[in-house]
Amino acid sequence: MTKPSPASNADVGAPVGFDQPFAFRNAAGRICAAGPGRALARGTRESLADRLAPFFAGPPDGAVIGGALPFDTTRPDCLWQAARGDGIWPGDAVAATGPARPAPPPPPAPR
């Protein structure tokens, strides 16, 4: 197996026609959304707050960001506003309303 060169994915964005649903769930509930709607200007970690501020200052409808943050904080991220996000996973009749199931306890420490 060969390791890909860093340049091979230096400027990768959401694929054209990408419309896969994604979801996040925690004790507060579940957020479901799909596809990239509007790309966020790319930048490094230092500029993230400034780039996100106008996005979150708008109406809360569909205020879901998807994408990727690189491990190397000097590299640009790839973030976008979700095209749609109504909290209902495709095929669900109703969005989940109960709390997320708690994580199992960690295994005991080795002796």
Q: Is residue 108's pLDDT more than 60?
A: yes
**What's the pLDDT band for 95 if we cut at 50, 70, 90?**
very low
**What's the pLDDT score for residue 93?**
44
- pLDDT (mean) for 15-43: 70
Place of tokens 């005991």: 108
pTM (predicted TM-score): 0.50
The total number of structural domains that make up the chain: 1
**What's the pLDDT band for 52 if we cut at 50, 70, 90?**
confident
Six-digit token string for 45: 């970690």
pLDDT (tens digit per residue) in 71-85:
888 888 888 777 666
Helix, strand counts (H, E) of the chain: 1, 4
Q: How crowded is residue 25: how many other Cβ atoms within 10 Å of its Cβ? A: 14
Containing structural domain, residue 54: 18-84
Residue 65 inside a domain? The answer is yes
Residue 106 inside a domain? The answer is no
